Structure 1
Amino acid sequence: MKLTMGEKLRILLKRKNVTIVELSRRLGTTNQNMANKLKRDNFSVKELEDIAVALGCKFEGFFVEDNGDKI
């Protein structure tokens, strides 16, 4: 079973020890907006790239952490 992008983001947030509230702040959006996007799994490529930057990793169709792990 494949993980949704929202599920992958939740894993990455947990690994980075970042809350949805903190991610929202870093992106300049509301907590409610981010929570809804995660729930609906509704992200543009630009948003995913911005999230990657906010979390200090890269987005290449998947997330690549600093240590090279892919999510």
Structure 2
Amino acid sequence: MKELCNKKNISVLELARQIDQTPQNFCKKLKRDTVTLEEVKQITDVMEVIFE
């Protein structure tokens, strides 16, 4: 996720805000690898990438 953020020139904190998550909660989810499928779909929409 961090690598994709770097490529899209957006911070992980800004991504969290754009998907209506607190930065703290989102970072914890990334560390624990507990991001839901719905959140992944939101992330791909924000990042303008295709989710397969």
Identify the structure with bigger relative contact order (alpha carbons < 8 Å, sequence gap 6+). Answer: 2
Instruction: Name the structure where strand makes up a greater proportion of residues.
Output: 1
Instruction: Name the structure where helix makes up a greater proportion of residues.
Output: 2
User: What amino acid maps onto 2:51 in structure 1?
Assistant: F
Runs of 5+ consecutive residues of structure 1 not aligned to the other structure: 1-8, 61-71
User: Radius of gyration: which is bigger?
Assistant: 1
Q: Which of 6, 23, 30 is 1:31 aligned to?
A: 23
* Aligned-residue CA RMSD (Å): 0.9
Give the structure 1 partner of residue 32 of structure 2: 40
TM-score by length of 2: 0.88
Q: Which of 13, 25, 34 is 1:21 aligned to?
A: 13
Runs of 5+ consecutive residues of structure 2 not aligned to the other structure: none
Give the total of aligned pairs.
52
Q: Segments of 4+ in structure 1 off by > 3 A? A: none
